[in-house]
Amino acid sequence: MREKVSSTKEEGKKRRFVIIKKQPFFTNTTRIVCPFCGNDEDFWEHAEGVTIKTHYVQNEDGSFSPVSDDTQIFGEIRFICGKCNSDLTKYHKQFLEMLF
């Protein structure tokens, strides 16, 4: 003979689950798209007033190898579409956040 196991739940009542979605690690993963040509792959930065200092060492065979470099930007930095050359500087902050 089987014993009846009593349940702590009342019969007829269903359990309710609340599912909480976690935010993704990258909260802003929207791709930058050029509003003029639709490009979403090729971009470049244009920096004005740049000083680049590179330290080189001459090798035994007469060639040079860079050891270190230092870049200072004194002017404006613009973010440019690589296909139509439109100024997309308003997206530069988002670009910097997604730069790895």
Q: What is the pLDDT at residue 24? A: 45
Question: Residues of the chain whose pLDDT is less than 70?
Answer: 1-12, 19-29
Contact between residue 80 and residue 92 where contact means Cβ atoms under 8 Å apart: no
Q: What is the pLDDT at residue 28? A: 52
Q: What is the pLDDT at residue 14? A: 75
Q: What is the pLDDT at residue 58? A: 95
* Sign, Cα dihedral of 90, 91, 95, 96: positive
User: How many CB atoms are closer than 10 A to CB 82?
Assistant: 14
* Domain locations in the chain as residue ranges: 45-97
Q: Judge if pTM exceeds 0.75.
A: no
Residue 37, amino acid: C
Residue in this structure with the two tokens 């609340």, named with its chain if needed: 18
Residues making up the chain, counted from first to last:
100
Q: What is the pLDDT at residue 21? A: 60
